[in-house]
Structure 1
Amino acid sequence: MSEATTTDLYEVTMAMSYLRERMTRPATFSLFVRDLPPGRGFLVAAGLESALDYLAGYRIRPADVEAFASALNRPTRDLARLRGLKFTGEVRAVPEGRIVLAGEPLLEVTAPLPQAQLVETYLLNQVSYQTAIASKAARCVLAAAGRPVVDFSLRRTHGVEAGFQAARLGALVGFAGTSNVAAATAVGVPAVGTMAHSYVEAFPSEEEAFRAFARAHPGPITLLVDTYETEEGVRTAARVLRDLDLTTGSAIRLDSGDLGALAVRARGILNAAGLPDVRIVASGGLDEYSVDDLVQSGAPIDTYAVGTRIGVAADAPYLDSAYKLVEYDGNPVMKLSSAKVTAPGAKQVFRCPGYADVIGLRDEGAPGRGHRLLEPAMRDGRRIAERPALEEEQARFTADLEELPHAALRVRSPIAPRAVPSERLNALVGQVRRRLIEHRRSSAAPPASEPRRTVSGREKP
């Protein structure tokens, strides 16, 4: 089977019906986040590159048809129309690394209706997860206020692929390294790591463990000092580093307890030992909130290692994302259900100074000094450009972050800018709403010639 089977079953049932009814005209679907999670002032667009890889290779093979048939308990011949189907459409999207707001399309897919429907689940999976992680990681960078942040999340992420993306996305928003060797190699960022408590416990004493580690690694090295008694561990580390002349670039790591207070005492011990250049690394259940507390308290911590809470976006592990049909066969469509109304028509987002963003229609001109966020990414089922380098994505993020209002950057109680619809989009919403309501009324009303009947079925005079 191929990745085409990585989908929800109802995508298949709908596609089968579309094909049977010959509903294969172009359809446009818009993927967006309805509302930001609590505590978020912005989102960082991510997941597009994985989505494009998937679409470029999308093709339903005989084994996929057999899998669909088995899931539906139907003969394979009933699904024959799906065999050989591939993605031939176009994608317009916000490039990875750009900052986006609630309601703004992150990408739009235009393709024959069955194709555009079948890819919904995978696109939502990739864009929603990666955007959530990138946004959480970006907040850690902000909280650290210029101090290096590194990724320790692999052992706690929900799967190896999630761990890879957490490392990649951390690098995108400014992390200085990752403990994930595979990701560090693939992405081109430093691999970082020290030792575990089990390493120290394996030796007769803490000092013997530190000296053995130094013999295996010429330096600089980082020594984990809280296996037993933290302050004594710092003194032992200082003695070993000084004796072996490994002070340049070396560090100690604090992984438990009151990190702020321990960092103050550790700094004092290191300074008293003549080791002012030995750095302090802190880890252990950190996220942007705890990092912000430590930074604001003035804790002398040089590097923050964040893991579990970032790799799973612990305080906001999902996004209220949606992939909605906005146009079929040239006709704008919309959803009217309570609290989930969608705006019709293929769209564009115009980034205006101060993040006074406008969501308009695709063919609108940019208002004032605004520029377009959605760019062509795929045409005729093929990528338009090569995968961008990490440095290009980092530059996009940095440039957007510099323009974001200060209130949106706050770690606690941020205020997110709100995009507004253009006049033309508002007018289209009203037009399509009226059309749908009138159609529902005319469909519900009985023909004028139909006799009125009672519950018993007899004609009522």
Structure 2
Amino acid sequence: MRALNLTLLTDLYELTMMQGYYKNPTSQIVVFDAFYRKNPSDGAYAIMAGLEQVIEYVRNLHFSPDDIDYLRELKMFDEDFLEYLRGLHFTGDIYAIPEGTVIFPREPLIKVIAPVMEAQLVETALLNIINHQCLIATKASRVCYAAQGDGVMEFGLRRAQGPDAGIYGARAAMIGGCIGTSNVLTGQMFDVPVKGTHAHSWIMSFPDEYTAFKTYAELYPKACILLVDTYDVLESGIPNAIRVFSEMRDAGMEMKGYGIRIDSGDLAYLSKKAYEMLAAEGFEDAIISASSDLDEYLIDSMKTQGAKINSWGVGTNLITSGDWPAFGGVYKLAAIKNAWEDEFTPKIKLSENTEKVTNPCDKTIFRIYDTESGKIRADLICLAGEQFDESEDMILFDPIETWKKTRLKGGTYRLRELLLPVFQKGNCVYTSPSVMEIRDICTREKETLWDESRRLVNPQTVYVDLSDNLYKIKTDLLEEMSMKALENQ
């Protein structure tokens, strides 16, 4: 991201549409919403991530001479349009939900208000960045929830779909709750903890397992995690690890950050046997770490079985979100305004699939919290500028199944607006926290979810509702378009 100009990281049709707008001059300012329709892994929530990279992309948005030369070679674009691109930069406004925030389907994660050509151009890269990092942050959150407070380390770099996916996937995993990553470049770029032990090849390169363990302990006495499954966990690995730990203790060394890692076999059974053997020699506080194609379901299952694992290394299924490979975010037009007009004209996309009918207008989101518990009651999508009185009763209804309603008594709830200004008139007005600060934000955010919405299977839905004013505009538009369709029959 820091080294590359990503302006051409876009679908060709964004550029062909831009030339179409250019050839048919318009002074339209538009509102686009980036949102998603379904939570990953059939969960009840997702985690916002990737905004810092969106900011970097927009800040650096420009067509270099090489970009212009390449587009000219395609023989699709006229010289006057290419000359326009030469001086293009982003001049609009962007609002976004901060990274680390719990998010839900259908609500705008990012809102772009800009001249139509600029708003169109940023679509592809914005979705590419947000879709990937939201997906991995959400997966990490689920894995960490299954671990029930145990440390989870991300170490999927070698299985990621390329260097960028490894780097920014590790960043997102840290936001979602991991305590460290094996990815050294991510550690350097984002100042996050890097962690790791050693491979089976380390053991195999020595004459015997004991010598390999002892040599490693001498090198890293304060981070001595020994991989015990190269030959035989219970007959060789654990006894040799205990021998080395005993020698360290007898030498008066501080026994901190020491333990074992098991990378194969029945991890639940082996961890319990390993704990018995370690505890019998006075090493009951040793770390017992496990790896081997783990995900949240396997971790949850092993917890149920009473596994003695207290540290988890999760690679492939975390960095690729193995069971849910795409986030599914979309970018849809919501309103248009000509330069001489004061108000936006709402726009709506129809579909035979009710879930795909978009929400029109320039919008914002209020999160509604229960004042007693601090938990989320619902999210309310409303018109930008709408105000609500927390001392008054509020009636919420499902915008699809409208008979589902609930009344919130005045004084029992509080509101928080989620969309914050990021760019104003092309200038960045937002400072991104560090990744570790975002991780802390995410931890607090997840605590606002009810336990029923955090469970891994069949979680309780968190409702995302529409305000009365927005709902009326939406239904009026649908009725208007339905009548026009009848007239044309």
Q: Which residue of the other structure, out of 3, 6, 11, is the alignment partner of 1:3?
A: 6
Which residue is equivalent to 1:341? 357
Whether the aligned pair in 1 keeps the contact of 2:228 and 2:261 (CA below 8 Å) is yes
> Partners in 2 of 1:203 and 1:395 — Cα distance?
42
> Partners in 1 of 2:318 and 2:159 — Cα distance?
10
Distance 1:249 1:36, change over 3 A: closer
Q: Which residue of the other structure, out of 126, 140, 143, is the alignment partner of 2:143?
A: 140
> Partners in 1 of 2:481 and 2:474 — Cα distance?
11
Distance 1:258 1:375, change over 3 A: same
Whether the aligned pair in 2 keeps the contact of 1:45 and 1:95 (CA below 8 Å) is yes
Which residue is equivalent to 2:29? 26
Shift of 1:7: 0.2
Question: 1:305 aligns to what SS in structure 2?
Answer: strand
Consecutive unaligned residues of structure 2, counting only runs of 5 or more, are 338-343, 370-375, 391-413
The aligned amino acid for 1:298 is: G
Deviates more, 1:154-163 or 1:428-437: 428-437
Which residue is equivalent to 1:241? 245
Which residue is equivalent to 1:451? none
> Partners in 2 of 1:282 and 1:416 — Cα distance?
32
Shift of 1:38: 4.1
Q: Which residue of the other structure, out of 427, 438, 443, is the alignment partner of 1:398?
A: 443
Which residue is equivalent to 1:449? none
Q: Which residue of the other structure, out of 270, 280, 300, is the alignment partner of 2:308?
A: 300
Question: 1:252 aligns to what SS in structure 2?
Answer: strand
Matches within 5 A, 1:214-253: 214-231=217-234, 232-245=236-249, 247-253=255-261
Q: Deviations over 1:179-222 (max 9, x none)?
A: 11122233223211111011111112111211222233333311
Verify: 1:170 aligned to 2:173, yes or no.
Answer: yes
Shift of 1:62: 2.9
Which residue is equivalent to 1:457? none
Q: Deviations over 1:318-342 (max 9, x none)?
A: 1221100101112111111222211
Verify: 1:371 aligned to 2:371, yes or no.
Answer: no
Question: 1:348 aligns to what SS in structure 2?
Answer: strand
Question: 2:288 aligns to what SS in structure 1?
Answer: strand
> Partners in 2 of 1:199 and 1:111 — Cα distance?
56
> Partners in 1 of 2:34 and 2:98 — Cα distance?
14
> Partners in 1 of 2:301 and 2:426 — Cα distance?
48
Deviates more, 1:354-363 or 1:117-126: 354-363
Whether the aligned pair in 2 keeps the contact of 1:7 and 1:118 (CA below 8 Å) is yes
Which residue is equivalent to 1:355? 377
The aligned amino acid for 1:228 is: Y
> Partners in 2 of 1:72 and 1:97 — Cα distance?
44
> Partners in 2 of 1:195 and 1:390 — Cα distance?
26
> Partners in 1 of 2:440 and 2:201 — Cα distance?
40
Which residue is equivalent to 1:54? 57
Distance 1:332 1:156, change over 3 A: same
Whether the aligned pair in 1 keeps the contact of 2:22 and 2:81 (CA below 8 Å) is no
Question: 1:5 aligns to what SS in structure 2?
Answer: coil
Shift of 1:167: 2.1
Deviates more, 1:392-401 or 1:353-362: 392-401
Question: 1:3 aligns to what SS in structure 2?
Answer: coil
> Partners in 2 of 1:83 and 1:24 — Cα distance?
19
Q: Deviations over 1:261-292 (max 9, x none)?
A: 00011111111222222211111111111111
Whether the aligned pair in 1 keeps the contact of 2:31 and 2:333 (CA below 8 Å) is yes
Shift of 1:432: 2.3
Consecutive unaligned residues of structure 1, counting only runs of 5 or more, are 446-461
> Partners in 2 of 1:47 and 1:190 — Cα distance?
19
Question: 1:220 aligns to what SS in structure 2?
Answer: coil
Q: Which residue of the other structure, out of 311, 318, 323, is the alignment partner of 1:315?
A: 323
Question: 1:357 aligns to what SS in structure 2?
Answer: strand
Which residue is equivalent to 2:409? none
Shift of 1:438: 4.8
Distance 1:113 1:73, change over 3 A: closer
Which residue is equivalent to 1:454? none
Matches within 5 A, 1:93-242: 93-231=96-234, 232-242=236-246
Question: 2:91 aligns to what SS in structure 1?
Answer: coil
> Partners in 1 of 2:115 and 2:441 — Cα distance?
32
Question: 1:432 aligns to what SS in structure 2?
Answer: helix
Shift of 1:389: 2.5
Deviates more, 1:37-46 or 1:305-314: 37-46
> Partners in 2 of 1:163 and 1:440 — Cα distance?
49
Verify: 1:328 aligned to 2:336, yes or no.
Answer: yes
> Partners in 1 of 2:290 and 2:191 — Cα distance?
24
Verify: 1:386 aligned to 2:431, yes or no.
Answer: yes
Between structure 1 and structure 2, the one with the greater Rg is: 1
Shift of 1:367: 5.9
Over 4 Å off, 4+ runs: 72-78, 437-442
Whether the aligned pair in 2 keeps the contact of 1:179 and 1:192 (CA below 8 Å) is yes
Shift of 1:396: 2.6
Whether the aligned pair in 2 keeps the contact of 1:36 and 1:42 (CA below 8 Å) is yes
Distance 1:38 1:310, change over 3 A: closer
Whether the aligned pair in 2 keeps the contact of 1:2 and 1:64 (CA below 8 Å) is no
The aligned amino acid for 1:51 is: V
> Partners in 2 of 1:343 and 1:382 — Cα distance?
27
